[in-house]
Amino acid sequence: MAILAGYQRVTFRTGAVRLRGEVLLHASSRFGPVERDRLFRLREAGAILPDPTPDQLGTICAVVEIVDCRRSEPLDRAVAAEEPMRSHCLLLANPRALPPIAHPGHLYPFDVDEDMLSRLLASA
């Protein structure tokens, strides 16, 4: 949600990655204490974000462009939307919403069916 709304323009990683270009965003399958706390902190910082609806959880919900990966800098903290800082960061641009599509998620990049990808990107 924070990426799609423009409040998060970087995401941190423990190491460098070569991934560039458009990637799909997958929403968490739960809205538990950690997610609620993060949303609360974002709202305290002035973000206007709604609670996720049940039909948004566990879905592919957006597409964003990864434009670069570099070593993290202290100023990255300001555009990271409360994400814990790590050694490297991905610079994000052009987030666009997609109709939510239920799909199993992972904590790492994963492939999706080419036909589904084409349909999703056509609707972005």
Q: Do the domain assignments include residue 4? A: no
Q: Do the domain assignments include residue 59? A: yes
Q: Do the domain assignments include residue 62? A: yes
Q: Do the domain assignments include residue 45? A: yes
Domain that holds residue 15: 10-123
Q: How many domains does the chain have?
A: 1
Q: Do the domain assignments include residue 5? A: no
Residue 20 pLDDT = 93
Residue 124 pLDDT = 62
pLDDT tens profile 45-102: 788 888 888 888 899 888 999 999 999 988 887 777 666 778 899 999 999 988 888 8
Model pTM greater than 0.85? no
- Check pLDDT > 90 for residue 105: no
Nearest in space to 15 (alpha carbons), one of 65, 67, 64, 72: 72
pLDDT tens profile 8-33: 888 888 899 998 998 888 888 888 89
